[in-house]
Chains A and B, each alone.
Chain A
Amino acid sequence: GQNIDQPTEMTATEGAIVQINCTYQTSGFNGLFWYQQHAGEAPTFLSYNVLDGLEEKGRFSSFLSRSKGYSYLLLKELQMKDSASYLCAARNSGNTPLVFGKGTRLSVIA
């Protein structure tokens, strides 16, 4: 079966750094994705990891450890507009659909 786990909610302060963890169990593996979803809007692509290590993209970084079935999304210099849900998703193989976690609702406070 397939299972994606991530915390339900997190709160962090403007200007700080926050790490959102995700563990996954899939029958195969062909990539780990992070999406951002603001309330009432569509999910939008943030990052992709298929090899172990850290991928950095501006204020956002994503890390993957395939042996541990673990990923995290790191957000630096938090801004109020970063308040959103962050969805972790895994792909089994090839062109199969993404399996999503339930999302982590991040609240950035002043």
Chain B
Amino acid sequence: DAGVIQSPRHEVTEMGQEVTLRCKPISGHNSLFWYRQTMMRGLELLIYFNNNVPIDDSGMPEDRFSAKMPNASFSTLKIQPSEPRDSAVYFCASGLGRQGIRTPSPTGELFFGEGSRLTVL
């Protein structure tokens, strides 16, 4: 079974450009999380969805960041305009919440994608 799939794996862009990161969660999972990881701050939650609905976006740094989940198998994280301080590894993770109908992970752990390493020059 495929894990969480993210694209692109690496992106280098210039300040002011729009960046779109993509995520395909594990089939059957009903929760999706976007995290950002830096050396200074570790793994920080940006936003999460349950059943495609955004539940908490209080971790989104500012209005330049937006995330969508149009269906159960796809989510995007967009940064517009990008700034050098946005440089980080962005991880998407999925999991099975209480409303899920399958229990492949009864502990409710999260499964992470390989991450998208973003460098903004």
* Interface pair A94/B111, CB less than 8 Å apart: no
Alpha-carbon distance A76/B58, docked complex (angstroms): 39
Q: What's the minimum C-beta distance from A96 to chain B, rounded to whole angstroms?
A: 8
B115 contacts partner chain A, Cβ-Cβ < 8 Å: yes
A19 contacts partner chain B, Cβ-Cβ < 8 Å: no
Tally of A-B Cβ pairs under 8 angstroms: 51
Q: Which B71-109 residues have C-beta < 8 A from chain A? A: 91, 95, 97-99, 107-109
The majority secondary structure among interface residues of chain B is: strand
Q: What's the minimum C-beta distance from A71 to chain B, rounded to whole angstroms?
A: 14
Residues in B with CB closer than 8 Å to A43 are 43, 91, 112
* Interface pair A97/B45, CB less than 8 Å apart: yes
Residues in A with CB closer than 8 Å to B115 are 42
A102 contacts partner chain B, Cβ-Cβ < 8 Å: yes
**Known contacts A43-B112, A95-B97, A101-B42; is-contact A48 B33 (Cβ 8 Å):** no
Chain B positions within 8 Å of A, measured between CB atoms, are 31, 33, 35, 41-45, 48, 50, 56, 91, 95, 97-99, 107-115
Q: Looking at the complex, which one of B91, B98, B114 makes contact with A95 (CB distance below 8 Å)?
A: B98
* Interface pair B107/A97, CB less than 8 Å apart: no
A7 contacts partner chain B, Cβ-Cβ < 8 Å: no
**Known contacts A41-B114, A44-B112, A48-B109; is-contact A97 B33 (Cβ 8 Å):** yes
* Interface pair B31/A95, CB less than 8 Å apart: yes
Alpha-carbon distance A6/B56, docked complex (angstroms): 26
Alpha-carbon distance A15/B79, docked complex (angstroms): 46
